[in-house]
């Protein structure tokens, strides 16, 4: 890039002449002197915006970077929104953070801005899981909360998740209204950085106890845990917040044989033992799997940095540890929880589960078999939380989840919760062992009963301004010219969630999608395959979710069927030009 465009140069000049600190200005000037125009363009070409996971980006200098100024503007905008939304109330918020580099100072800055605006702040005294923040908002009767985390992103990232009074992440129209307030903060001089310590209260152990007590109530079979208390469990927080509470929970539930991956128990924002702190990645669980093989473990649990997502591994028929993907874990967890409710006589037709539109439809079949309603919603757990809030007091929520390894059991929070998930997954493993079978065998039996479902996620990374434009172009191309067939089967329905239109290609009819607008396309084929295309709201990626299925009459059919479905997914990728 030979030069900066006028708009970006104007933004840079605003930062150089504005009320920003000397170090920030020095970094910008050095980049200008080096003629690092591509770097500066990426740092200034837009402002960070709320996506499915809030505000998230690379730490550094610029309007498109995570720093005290972008977080300051966001907090000032959120403060303005809260004060206009609750004009006659004493406003209270909760702030928590994970182990990310700079999270402590950015959390303190967030507390300062809130308090400078006359808002009372409950500030956790150390790193805590995201779901505990959600719980605390509800427990303390707050109007909002903020979690400082970049979830599973690389170490260069940090983020800012904003929550509403229900304990869920902001959804429409509130997220848009907050961003409108943020946009109105035209100058950094409009941000009140000078905090009021009298309005900041530290919280910690007492809230931990309330949160753990709420989770303990979700346990459905303490007797089976007592009989299987020696279950061999390996746990890793991958250097994050899971280490604060998951070992305590497993101990309180009665599991006596928990092996911690000590190297990853160390709180460290550089994540020195992994490439990415993401339980979706096999590499991130390498140490856990090695430990599990050494002790012949029954279960591996690994949480992401803010402990809202969990990855698991279990022994297969040969005793080899195998990783479950997010859909498989959901199938196991939903099946166990609904089964436990049924065995206890708690299902009366008023219960429901929630999943996202890109999560396996096998969950629907399990729910239907149990006479439990299944709601489908947009990607992002905030939409699951919104349904829970809408139905609170009307129907009973049992379990919710999404394919990206996030699940919630119980109504104590409005966000995915790896802490309670770890507890119930451990209980599930104990239950099946008590029945003389493995979790793997339980999954195979589920496939025989309901059909074999296989999912694949293809992610294409497209960084920077040019990458964002390329992703937009790809979506426009698929929207204007949807595929005629995928994997050898005709496309019979196209769902456009941005335009909220569902088109039946066989009947040549159109229907309305009763969900908020979202830039997602779904292609459904005659044989029941589903492909969803969606730009990520938190990463520079476009994602393609493929789901294919086929019936199996016995366990012996599964391996062959799996290979056939893998071939079908490969053909689908080819048909999409991926």
Q: What is the set of active-site residues? A: 151
Torsion of CA 428, 430, 436, 439, to 10 degrees: 40
Torsion of CA 293, 299, 302, 308, to 10 degrees: 170
Look at residues 183, 163, 182, 180 and name the one whose alpha carbon lies nearest to residue 171. 163
CB burial of residue 33 (10 Å; 0-12, 13-18, 19+)? exposed
| CA 252 – CA 391 distance, rounded (Å) | 31
Question: Where does 237-386 show beta strands of DSSP type E?
Answer: 258-260, 299-303, 310-315, 321-323, 351-356, 373-377
Q: How many CA atoms lie within 13 A of 61 on its CB side?
A: 20
CA distances from 504 to 206, 227, 487, 525, 529 (A): 54, 53, 19, 11, 15
What strands, in cross-sheet order, belong to the sheet with 373-377? 373-377, 351-356, 396-402, 406-409
Look at residues 399, 389, 529, 539 and name the one whose alpha carbon lies nearest to residue 463. 539
Q: What own/partner pairs with CB < 8 Å and gap ≥ 24 does 405-408 have?
A: 405/279, 405/280, 405/304, 405/309, 405/310, 405/311, 405/326, 405/329, 406/308, 406/309, 406/326, 406/381, 407/310, 407/329, 407/330, 407/333, 408/131, 408/381, 408/384
Q: Are 147 and 97 in contact (CB under 8 A)?
A: yes
Q: Is 286 helix (H, G, I), strand (E, B) or coil?
A: helix
| CA 490 – CA 257 distance, rounded (Å) | 52
| CA 215 – CA 125 distance, rounded (Å) | 21
Q: Is 129 helix (H, G, I), strand (E, B) or coil?
A: coil
The pair of three-digit structure tokens given for residue 387, joined into one six-digit string? 């349904």
Helix ranges, 198-255 (H): 205-216, 222-227, 242-253
The pair of three-digit structure tokens given for residue 560, joined into one six-digit string? 């062959």
| H and E: helices and strands count for the chain | 18, 23
């Amino acid at each position: 890039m030979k030069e900066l465009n006028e708009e970006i140069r104007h933004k840079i000049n605003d930062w150089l002449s504005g009320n920003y600190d000397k170090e920030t200005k020095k970094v910008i000037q050095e980049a200008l002197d080096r003629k690092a125009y591509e770097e500066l363009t990426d740092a200034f070409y837009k402002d960070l915006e709320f996506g499915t996971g809030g505000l998230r980006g690379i730490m550094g200098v610029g309007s498109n970077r995570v720093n005290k100024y972008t977080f300051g503007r966001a907090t000032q905008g959120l403060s303005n929104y809260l004060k206009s939304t609750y004009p006659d109330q004493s406003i209270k918020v909760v702030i928590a953070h994970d182990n990310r580099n700079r999270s402590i100072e950015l959390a303190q800055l967030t507390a300062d801005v809130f308090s400078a605006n006359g808002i009372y702040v409950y500030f956790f005294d150390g790193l805590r899981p995201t779901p505990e923040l959600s719980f605390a908002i509800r427990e303390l009767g707050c109007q909002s909360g903020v979690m400082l985390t970049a979830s599973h992103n690389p170490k260069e990232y940090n983020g800012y998740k904003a929550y509403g009074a229900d304990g869920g992440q902001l959804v429409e129209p509130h997220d848009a209204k907050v961003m409108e307030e943020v946009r109105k903060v035209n100058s950094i001089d409009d941000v009140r950085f000078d905090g009021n310590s009298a309005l900041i209260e530290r919280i910690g152990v007492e809230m931990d106890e309330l949160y753990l007590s709420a989770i303990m109530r979700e346990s459905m079979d303490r007797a089976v845990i007592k009989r299987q208390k020696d279950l061999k469990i390996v746990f890793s927080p991958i250097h994050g917040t899971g280490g604060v509470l998951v070992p305590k929970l497993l101990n309180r539930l009665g599991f006596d044989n928990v092996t911690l991956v000590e190297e990853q128990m160390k709180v460290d924002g550089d994540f020195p033992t992994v490439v990415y702190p993401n339980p979706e990645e096999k590499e991130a669980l390498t140490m856990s799997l090695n430990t599990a093989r050494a002790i012949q473990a029954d279960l591996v649990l690994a949480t992401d940095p803010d402990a809202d997502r969990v990855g698991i591994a279990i022994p297969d028929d040969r005793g080899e540890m195998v990783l479950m993907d997010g859909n498989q874990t959901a199938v196991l967890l939903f099946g166990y929880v609904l089964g436990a409710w049924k065995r206890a006589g708690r299902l009366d037709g008023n219960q429901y589960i929630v999943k996202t539109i890109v999560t396996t439809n096998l969950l629907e079949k399990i729910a239907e078999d149990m006479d439990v309603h299944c709601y489908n919603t947009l990607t992002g757990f905030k939409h699951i939380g919104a349904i829970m809030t809408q139905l609170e007091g009307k129907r009973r929520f049992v379990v919710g989840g999404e394919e990206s390894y996030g699940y919630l059991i119980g109504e104590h929070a409005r966000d995915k919760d790896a802490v309670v998930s770890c507890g119930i997954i451990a209980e599930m493993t104990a239950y099946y062992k008590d029945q003389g079978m493995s979790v793997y065998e339980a999954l195979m039996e589920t496939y025989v009963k309901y059909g074999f479902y296989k999912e694949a996620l293809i992610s294409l990374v497209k960084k920077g301004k040019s990458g964002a434009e390329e992703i937009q172009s790809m979506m426009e191309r698929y929207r204007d010219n949807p595929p005629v067939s995928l994997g050898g089967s005709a496309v019979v329905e196209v769902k456009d969630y941005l335009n909220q239109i569902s088109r039946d290609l066989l009947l040549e009819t159109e229907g309305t999608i009763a969900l908020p607008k979202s830039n997602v396309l779904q292609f459904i084929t005659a044989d029941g395959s589903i492909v969803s295309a969606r730009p990520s709201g938190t990463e520079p990626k476009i994602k393609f979710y493929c789901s294919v299925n086929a019936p199996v009459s016995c366990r012996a059919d599964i391996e062959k069927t799996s290979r056939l479905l893998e071939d079908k997914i490969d053909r689908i990728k080819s048909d999409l030009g991926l």
